[in-house]
Structure 1
Amino acid sequence: MQANIGTIDRALRVVAGILLIALSLFGVIGLWGWIGVVPLATGLFSFCPAYRLLGLSTCKRCQ
């Protein structure tokens, strides 16, 4: 599993994931907020399976 997510992309994914989960926990958006686990996990692992399938990479040091 080679990293394919760059620094800015990674930070945005982690923030978005935490935000969605927090909104769900506080009852603002309901259970759909738990979809935030996906961007959070991809941000933490610096790997996105969809990027791999599409041949994309935002990681400059990995190219």
Structure 2
Amino acid sequence: MLTLDGWWYGDGEEGIHRACGGGRAVCPHVPDIASGSQLDVQRYLDGVPDDALLVFLHLHI
């Protein structure tokens, strides 16, 4: 999931900030979601503005 503030969360993984590709160990930014858990992701989605566009992508690499 990509948050409105540029955090990328893989399935159950901790976030990576768009400006700090090296992971949380080197990122000074505060994450949008505490962890990549489904419950935390759902809480985040419940709080996005009503006019936000949600897009589902399923990628195979």
Q: Same fold (TM over 0.5)?
A: no
Q: Give the structure with the higher percent helix.
A: 1
Tell which structure's C-alpha radius of gyration is larger. Answer: 1
**Under a length normalisation based on structure 1, what TM-score does the superposition of the two structures give?**
0.30
**Under a length normalisation based on structure 2, what TM-score does the superposition of the two structures give?**
0.30
Q: Give the structure with the higher percent strand.
A: 2
